[in-house]
Structure 1
Amino acid sequence: MTMAEQGEATCEGCDEFDRHGFLEMKRDFRGMRRDVTKIRVELVEIRADLRILDNRMVNVEKTLETFATRNEMQLMLREHALANRKAMYRALGIVTVVLGGLMCILESLN
């Protein structure tokens, strides 16, 4: 790579990267964007499923609490369910952040 007089970098291999190469790269970016969009849709569906599961867990907890006679059992169930919910939503948050970052990168490259 050499520096041109105007301060631009030139490369012998870059001359071979013509319009066809740019169009192919643009097509690849569009494909990646479509894939990330599909993943985001699937993530929304997973979140909906998790909300349904969360509601079911609440119902199971309520049912078990009515049958549990000891306060210790009720407390243990609440703590366990709360820890599971936090872990599920924490994992989804990380996935959402990563997908958001990928979308930003694809937007800037396109």
Structure 2
Amino acid sequence: MELLNQLTSFLLFVRPKKPREYLISLLERLRIAKVTGVTFPFFMDNSNIVSMFEMMDSSGRGCISFVQYKEALKNLGLCTADEVLNDDGNLITLDKFRDEVCSLYP
């Protein structure tokens, strides 16, 4: 199911003219990445991560709450709703958010 969700995300993000051929190519690249042990490229780049953070930081304070942080991770598929994350009581800055998103992505 996770693979299907990821493939759907790629289709929605890229919007290829030939979806079937794109999916075949994507699955082949995933297979090669698994066989060679190379990490598969993440389709979220720095500008996407910054945009997501800025949408949550609507006041422009430069930080978001832990609740917003966990919701963002759920939206990205990087944690589940019932997964327990440690809240250290600190607000999440853009740098911490970026580092966490990049480190959690498989």
TM-score between the two structures when normalised by the length of structure 1: 0.26
Larger Rg: 1
TM-score scaled to structure 2, two decimals? Answer: 0.27
The one of the two structures with greater contact order (alpha-carbon pairs below 8 A, sep at least 6) is: 1
More helix by share: 1
